[in-house]
Amino acid sequence: MAKKSKITPYVFLLPFLLLFVIFRFWPLVSSFLLSLQKLKGIGAEEFIGLENYRNLFKDLRFTFTLQITSYFTGGSLILLAIIPLLLANVLFLNRARLRNVYRAVIFLPGLVSLVVVGTVFRLILADQNGLLNKALGLLGVQPIPWLMAAELTVPSLIIIALWRWTGMNIVYFTSGLSSISPEVYEAARIDGAAGFSLFRFITLPLMKPIIIFVVTIGIIGGYQVFVEPYVLYSAGRTPGDSGLTTVLYIYRLAFRNFDMGYASAVGIVLALIIFLVSIVQFQFTGFFRKRQ
């Protein structure tokens, strides 16, 4: 029985470990091996070592895609961390009478297929007959070329991200708020705290783990953005390549240019960038500090 009790946790972990190795670890190893080759088709492999990585650091187009991706990630991250947190704190959905109904409704956009979302927003952001421009027209605002102006490409993508993920982040934050004891707020009010002071000195510190979680998944999702520009702009043909994200660039390299080796090298470097940015974010938020 003693031996069985030691083995039992590993038995329960085995399904996850198998899935992780098959669908996460092995694809990563396979991509790294591909990145060391010049691969132009089936049976046309040539080992070239780190040549793809050397070419990558001279590739101005890769730098360009990284700037666009970082712009999208930063913009969406700020909005998707601040707005849902404020809405969750101000609206107190966790205290509403029909809170489960509210949570289900605001959670629904995160369940809709991104293909459907991109198609619908193509109609909403259309130049003349788009619903958004018609609404702005009622306010006396001239039509805005959302899908034609290069400088509006990333803001358009951020609008989609905001619509899709705000509700889900509100659910995360309201779950965190519900775990804070009301007695903590009552004690703070007795000491003279009120309004913004409660939010700054009570809510924010106690919500720190949830905030770190939301920021982390926002960074990972932002740097992996692909479907939104691909669907919204019909195969990702954005004006002046202003929406050419890094993953979209990998797709073009792999499935249009059939340069699988170089595409794999870009993917490996992107994974390292996401890892490093996440580590910096953890360090900045004090995730690695020892807790007393």
Confidence of residue 93 (pLDDT cuts 50, 70, 90): very low
Lowest average pLDDT, out of 153-162, 174-183, 210-219, 271-280, goes to 174-183
Task: Give pLDDT tens digits for 199-237.
Answer: 888 888 888 888 888 999 999 999 999 988 998 888 888
Angle at alpha carbon of residue 139, lines to 146 and 162, rounded to 5°: 45
**Within a domain: residue 3?**
no
241 Ramachandran zone, left/alpha/beta (phi>0; psi -120 to 50): left
**Within a domain: residue 229?**
yes
Closest by CA position to 153, among listed 260, 225, 49, 221: 225
Angle at alpha carbon of residue 143, lines to 139 and 149, rounded to 5°: 140
**Within a domain: residue 215?**
yes
**Within a domain: residue 240?**
yes
Residue 214 · residue 88 · CB < 8 Å: no
Share of the chain above pLDDT 70, in %: 89
Closest by CA position to 226, among listed 245, 207, 205: 245
Res. 95: pLDDT tops 60: no
The residue range of the domain holding 226 is 59-284
> Which amino acid belongs to residue 61?
R
**Within a domain: residue 126?**
yes
For 47, 56, 62, 165, 266, the CA distances from 262, given in Å and listed in that order, are 12, 8, 11, 32, 6
**Within a domain: residue 96?**
yes
Domain count, the chain: 1
**Within a domain: residue 37?**
no
> Looking at per-residue confidence, does 59 or 288 come out higher?
59
Residue 281 · residue 216 · CB < 8 Å: yes
Res. 126: pLDDT tops 70: yes
Can you give the CATH number for the domain in which 160 is found?
Answer: 1.10.3720.10
Task: Give pLDDT tens digits for 67-87.
Answer: 999 999 999 999 998 888 888
